[in-house]
Structure 1
Amino acid sequence: MARTIIVGLDGSLESRAAAEWAAREAALRQQPVKLLNVRPPVPEPMAQAPLLGAETHRHWSERIPREAAEGLRLRHPGVEVTTEQRAGTAAEVLLEAARDAELLVLGSRALSGPAGFLIGSVGQSVVAHAEVPVILVRAGEQAADEHVKDPAGIPSAATGFRPVVLGLDTDSTDDTVITFAFEEAGRRGAALTVVTGWNLPLSYGYSLAAGVDLREDFAREQAAALTEALLPWREKYPDVKVTEVSRFGSPANHLIDAACDASLVVVGRRVRRSPFGVHIGAVAHAVMHHATTPVAVVAHD
């Protein structure tokens, strides 16, 4: 039985964009989509109010996933779409549902000005603790945004997909994250751009003081490490065109820049099974908040 792609749906524009992305992904994977709406407990004063009581609250909360599902079925006729409502705390319900899911898809909304995107406390907690890939989708994300521009300079769903971008630390590679990125590129028939950023070691300062500039040598070493790390994956996925980008500087900044021309950005998050605190990682955190394209956060050991 195919595993389900679950969408956290609360009726917001960003959650509706997440549902649309999930339906497109489900078509690529031939998997079903479930729209999960979390119904918080109704406060006692509201439950006692004649017009805003529990029944009215339930009616409106049930209408959100029902209407969203109807729309998805019309726009994506080959995708099985179901709905579910659960009562409880949003983060806890989403994490519980994600245990048996293929993916968990959430929305994130833009901040005013150039600051980036807001991942709320629920999203932060889910990303930090989920052990399945979590996809973050911006409000307003369209199918055409993931495709290359046509000869007229307009992105269109009729053209091919933009590249998938993978952020990779060559000192700490993980099969789960790399596999996810290659398979996403393969499903889309898209190229894969693998980005790594690096900084010069402390010893570089001593060499420079001695009149020896080793930057080019170090850059070659880093590029060679990236090539070596990807060699088995190039052989396993020969149909995926791979571009390697090894640059001096912040890996997060390089990934955010690469996201401007991507259909999906993939970053890893090391699993920490402590029940306390939020553990995401600096690079993943920066990309989540500033990349302008959907972001996949893939947990790994």
Structure 2
Amino acid sequence: MKNHVTVGVDGSPESRAAARWAAREAVLRQVPLRLVHAVDWPLDPVFPGLGRQDVDPWADQALTEAAEELHERHPHLEITIRCLTARPAAALAAEAADAGLLVLGSRGLGGLVGFIVGSVAMSTVVATDTPVVLVRVADDPDGPGTGSGAEVVVGVDIHEACDRVLSFAFEEAERRDCPLRAVHGWKMPAAYSYVPLFDPDNERDIGRSVTHMVDDMLLPWKHKFPDVNVSHNVFMGSAGEHLVRASQGAGLVVVGRHVRRSPLGAHLGSVTHAVLHHAAAPVAVIAHD
């Protein structure tokens, strides 16, 4: 049963922030937390001169210290640890298979807003169908980042089946007792670029039609989650840009990605890619068909 939260731990500030975020999420979900560290052996040349006899105790210590810190913060939270010898992305994806959520740390861009999504995080995101949340140090629930009462923002696409994405977003908003804001960006049909005398009323009509479609998409979820305060913003323009803008002050941004079986490519759409790299809040990536 997928009833626990898994978080990758490597002793870095980013992973410690992710572990604290994951612990709080596990408490909200009332499920156990699993801390996982994966050692890709051999480590050379990244850590020259470091032998396996040095790495194993260090990994165990990093996990133990993280578990002890989290237990002090959440004494009733069940915490387990696992240290694996495998490529980190593959190990984390395998560990996510029986989890309800996987949480990973990601480096922030210093004074700039956004993430540096490393190869391990990116490879893990596309290797698992389990929801993945990327967390920066600035998103640490005990640090200066946004508090738990901030709204959840979700990107919706009227041309796609977004049930998994909307289900995750509504459940998160309900757990956090916070508002949910749906964001959709649309563009004029390409044919309109060839019309010499474009009627602005057409743009307004299309905008109203798109807004009604977003309303219809959200309606059954509003009925299912009547306690969630839902709003939506429909814009003409780049959905990625609007989601990044909406992430300012948000507690969580939820986006989807297509599950693609091809072994080639990163399997991330342009909107999700933009949000992953530039959002000012933790980002949840939800795989869907």
User: Aligned to 1:70, what secondary structure does the other structure show?
Assistant: helix
User: Aligned to 1:247, what secondary structure does the other structure show?
Assistant: strand
The C-alpha deviation readout for 1:21-47, integer Å capped at 9, x for no partner, is 000000110011111000121458999
Instruction: Provide the alpha-carbon RMSD of the alignment.
Output: 2.2
Whole-Å separation in 2 of the counterparts to 1:184 and 1:277 = 30
Structure-2 change in CA distance of 1:214 and 1:208 (3 Å): farther
The C-alpha deviation readout for 1:66-90, integer Å capped at 9, x for no partner, is 1010000001112111111000111
Work out whether 1:185 is the aligned partner of 2:183.
Answer: no
Query: Residue 105 of structure 2 aligns with which residue?
Result: 107
Query: Residue 131 of structure 1 aligns with which residue?
Result: 129
User: Aligned to 1:146, what secondary structure does the other structure show?
Assistant: coil
User: Aligned to 2:281, what secondary structure does the other structure show?
Assistant: coil
Question: With structure 2 as the length reference, what TM-score do the two structures score?
Answer: 0.93
Contact 2:6 2:103 in 1 (8 A): yes
Query: Residue 151 of structure 1 aligns with which residue?
Result: none
User: Aligned to 2:209, what secondary structure does the other structure show?
Assistant: helix
Whole-Å separation in 2 of the counterparts to 1:82 and 1:261 = 32
User: Aligned to 2:80, what secondary structure does the other structure show?
Assistant: strand
User: Aligned to 1:214, what secondary structure does the other structure show?
Assistant: helix
Q: Which residue identity does 2:36 align to in structure 1?
A: L
Query: Residue 40 of structure 1 aligns with which residue?
Result: 40
Query: Residue 55 of structure 1 aligns with which residue?
Result: 53
User: Aligned to 1:127, what secondary structure does the other structure show?
Assistant: helix
Query: Residue 161 of structure 2 aligns with which residue?
Result: 173
Whole-Å separation in 2 of the counterparts to 1:126 and 1:79 = 26
Query: 5+ residue gaps in structure 2?
Result: none
Contact 1:35 1:65 in 2 (8 A): yes
Whole-Å separation in 2 of the counterparts to 1:77 and 1:71 = 10
Contact 2:5 2:26 in 1 (8 A): yes
Q: CA deviation at 1:203?
A: 3.6
Query: Residue 204 of structure 1 aligns with which residue?
Result: 192
Q: CA deviation at 1:208?
A: 5.9
Residue from 280, 284, 289 that aligns with 1:296 = 284
Q: Which residue identity does 1:67 align to in structure 2?
A: E
1:90-169 alignment, distance < 5 Å: 90-114=88-112, 116-143=114-141, 145-147=145-147, 161-169=149-157
User: Aligned to 1:225, what secondary structure does the other structure show?
Assistant: helix
The C-alpha deviation readout for 1:102-125, integer Å capped at 9, x for no partner, is 111001102345373111111111
Work out whether 1:14 is the aligned partner of 2:14.
Answer: yes
Q: CA deviation at 1:277?
A: 2.8
Residue from 70, 73, 86 that aligns with 1:72 = 70
Contact 2:154 2:253 in 1 (8 A): yes
Identity level (%): 45
Query: Residue 286 of structure 1 aligns with which residue?
Result: 274
Structure number with greater Rg is: 1
Whole-Å separation in 2 of the counterparts to 1:47 and 1:216 = 59
Whole-Å separation in 1 of the counterparts to 2:12 and 2:203 = 49
Structure-2 change in CA distance of 1:29 and 1:293 (3 Å): same
Query: Residue 24 of structure 1 aligns with which residue?
Result: 24
Contact 1:109 1:119 in 2 (8 A): yes
Query: Residue 150 of structure 1 aligns with which residue?
Result: none
Contact 1:265 1:296 in 2 (8 A): yes
Whole-Å separation in 1 of the counterparts to 2:190 and 2:54 = 64
Question: With structure 1 as the length reference, what TM-score do the two structures score?
Answer: 0.89
User: Aligned to 1:209, what secondary structure does the other structure show?
Assistant: coil
The C-alpha deviation readout for 1:46-80, integer Å capped at 9, x for no partner, is 9996xx43222211121111101000000111211
Query: 5+ residue gaps in structure 1?
Result: 148-156
Structure-2 change in CA distance of 1:85 and 1:250 (3 Å): same
Whole-Å separation in 2 of the counterparts to 1:255 and 1:283 = 8
Q: Which residue identity does 2:128 align to in structure 1?
A: A
